[in-house]
Amino acid sequence: MADLTTKKRNSLSKSQFGLPEERKYPMPDKAHARNAKARAAQQEEKGNLTSAEERKIDRKADRILNR
């Protein structure tokens, strides 16, 4: 996965995040989209994300991954 520096992350538009209102789960490319899906699933299992938030992240990642 390509490095995402703080400077690059801060320059991303809100639409490039899985949770844009919180600027969480950045997805500037396919590698980050796959990672966001995996991390969201882990956080949902731990109870840190709602299932609705996980679905939102998955839908966004799937669009980037052309699924």
Measured distance CA(2)–CA(42) in Å, rounded? 21
Determine the pLDDT at residue 3.
87
Determine the pLDDT at residue 51.
97
- Residue 57: pLDDT band (50, 70, 90) is very high
**30 pLDDT higher than 80:** yes
**Closest by Cα among 28, 42, 36 to 56:** 36
Q: What is the pTM of this model?
A: 0.90
DSSP characters over 4-67: --HHHHHHS-GGGEEETTTTEEE-SSHHHHHHHHHHHHHHHHHTSS-HHHHHHHHHHHHHHTT-
**Average pLDDT of the chain to the nearest whole number:** 96
* Domain layout of the chain by residue ranges: 17-64
